Structures are given as structure tokens and as C-alpha cells.
Amino acid sequence: MNHPFLARIYDTVLAPTERAGVRDQRRRMMEGVTGKVLEIAAGTGLNVPLYPATADEVHAVEPDRHMLARLVGRVKESSVPLYLYQGDAQDLPFMDGTFDAAVIAFALCTIPDPTRALDEVHRVVRPGGILRFLEHVRSRDDRTARWQDRINPLWGKMAGGCRLNQPTVEILRATKWEIDDLWRSGGGFVVAGQAFRT
């Protein structure tokens, strides 16, 4: 991936939604995560200041070198040891069962094959481990979903391949992960929750 302009404006563009409640959703996603943690597609590091003290360490993977450069600048904001990798969620550079937990926020929509990425995360998280997620999805409201469908082609070009109308919950349910908790906000097109590694 190579999106220098998007990396430059990413935090500024997201700032209004972060202030409007997304930051609180990120904090809730991170709350109570323990042990060795993997963050997938960490972007510019908006989650970094929210890593909980209950985590022993965080290993953050980001495919885009421009996003990763921004992420490097946030390492000092982490309250726990943070290790960074440029890598692909669809082919993770870790051994089976390495992590106790994984987190992913607003990223499955940009990964070319989200099923493959979720399978890879399943592989590197130990049995009984958890996945915390926060994603925008195709709305259950028909009118909103049609609006998402209409703007999705342009949105994807502007937002690094993001699929605004992706049915992420259905994709997750079709994997080996077992969803334990799921809640919706933002008119139904933002979901967050937890899944267990079976």
C-alpha cells in the first residue's frame, strides 16, 4: 500500500468523528485487554494513547509505509511496550498462538481479503484468546445502505480502497471466530464487539 496524501490528512479528516464519540468507542474496545496484544492495520496510531495498562505489550502491524511513519511518531504516547511492523494482515509474520488478544479498528474495510486477514489473526491468537473490533459496516437501514452503495466507488478512491458498504459482521460470522458481544451505533453503520478464538 502506498497512500502518502491519505496518511498526511488522515488524522485531520477523522478529528471531528473522533471528538463526536469515536475516541470513546476506541477506548471501550481497548478496555481490559490483557497479555500480549496484536493490533492489525494500526494506521497512524490513533489507538496508541488508549492502550490499557493491563496489556503487557502491543505489536502493531501496518502495511502502508506512510501511515507507519506517522505511527512511529506516536510510540512515546503508549503506556505499554509497543513494537511496530510493516506487514500485511493477510500474511502475518508471527507464529501460531503468539498473542492473547487482537484489536482492529476501521481497517477490515480496506484489507483486500478480510476473510483471509481474520483467518490469519485467528491463527496467531492462542485458543481462548479474543478479538476486539470496531468497524463501519453496511447499514441495516435500506435508505442508508443505498446511500452507502451510491457513494462507495468514489469513497474507495479517496479513502485508500475503503469499502463503506462492506457487510463486515457477516464476514466475521463466516470465519472461525465466535462473536460474544456486538453493539451498533452511528445509525447502525458502526459496529463494535468481541469475538473468541475457538
CB of 99 within 8 A of CB of 124? yes
pLDDT tens per residue, the chain (198 residues)?
566 767 677 678 767 777 878 889 999 999 999 999 999 999 999 999 999 999 999 999 999 999 999 999 999 999 999 999 999 999 999 999 999 999 999 999 889 999 999 999 999 999 999 999 999 877 777 788 787 767 666 765 666 667 777 889 999 999 999 999 898 776 666 889 999 998
Where do the domains of the chain lie? 4-197
Question: CB neighbours (10 Å) of residue 35?
Answer: 14
Residue holding cell 476506541?
26
**Beta strands 190-197 and 125-136, pairing class:** antiparallel
Instruction: Please enumerate in sequence order all residues whose Cβ is within 8 A of that of 142, keeping only pairs 6 or more positions apart, or say none.
Output: none
Q: Strands (DSSP E) along the chain, which ranges? A: 35-40, 55-62, 82-86, 99-105, 125-136, 177-185, 190-197
Fold entry, domain 4-197: Rossmann fold (3.40.50)
How far apart, in whole angstroms, are the C-alpha atoms of residue 50 and residue 54?
11
Name beta bridge partners: 39: 60, 103
